[in-house]
Amino acid sequence: MILVLLGAIMAFLFSGVTFGLLFLLSNGLIIYGLVVLRSRKRSWSYRLIGGAYLIFAVTFAGVQVYILKEAYNDTGNLSDDYDAVLILGAGLKGEEPSKTLLSRLVTGEEILKIREDLPVLVSGGQGPGESITEAMAMGRHLVAHGIDENRIIYEDASTNTYENMLYSRRILEDRGLKEGKVLIVTNDFHLARSKILARNVGLDPSGYAAPTPWFVRVNYYIREYFAMVKTFMLGRGALDG
């Protein structure tokens, strides 16, 4: 059992797509451990670990329900009055948008072609393995797909979701858009936390969910639970995607 857990941890450390695998294996090992403790009649250990695990399971389910509700039951109305559409960065491979970022851009394009009156704020700095800022790559993509360059506002200093919101708020204020009413475009798993952080910095957010690529969906939803917990505790982002 210990060897399996160590193997899962090593896989997580050396590959960014195995967070979900580590989570599932860890849960399996905890359940197995509880069965062993119960069979050996170690009631004190069983109750302590079992109670803690039950609290975790309930909070995990509750957070996932909240994430799904914010993504799909509380979608922004495209006919509402907004100051800007805000598309959040999600990583590049050199200068090319990742699959996750591409899904946000495609959704953003659709909105911008319906709401031709709105500017778009693209938000994302330059991270490891990225040749340019995410904002620049996003702007290039939008222009290449028919969005007027004059509509695009660049926020290119942020490195996480909290900074996305904080720096975007400052840019909107500098442009006289004091109400900060934004339609946030990000992936479904990321929308709930993005809206919380947007409110924390004084924005008035609505959200529009971009679909998450199927091959990373489970991984990101599990990962987002821990980011949400830290956000609730500290009011800032973590484990950003």
Q: Which of 62-71, 73-82, 106-115, 131-140 has the lowest mean pLDDT?
A: 73-82
Closest CA to 127 of 169, 95, 171: 95
Between 21 and 67, where is the model more confident?
A: 67
Measured distance CA(122)–CA(85) in Å, rounded: 8
pLDDT at 236: 60
Query: Residues with Cβ < 8 Å from 39, sequence gap 6 or more?
Result: none
Q: How far is CA 129 from the centre of its chain?
A: 19
Closest CA to 175 of 228, 224, 99, 121: 121
> In CATH, what number does 84-234 get?
3.40.50.620
Query: Residues with Cβ < 8 Å from 118, sequence gap 6 or more?
Result: 82, 84, 85, 112, 151, 183
Tokens of 87: 């598309």
Mean pLDDT of 51-73: 91
Between 216 and 241, where is the model more confident?
A: 216
Q: Where are the domains of the chain?
A: 2-9+18-72, 84-234
Between 16 and 133, where is the model more confident?
A: 133
Measured distance CA(108)–CA(146) in Å, rounded: 12
Measured distance CA(161)–CA(85) in Å, rounded: 16
Q: What are phi and psi for residue 153, nearest 5 degrees? A: -110, 135
pLDDT at 10: 47
Mean pLDDT of 102-117: 97
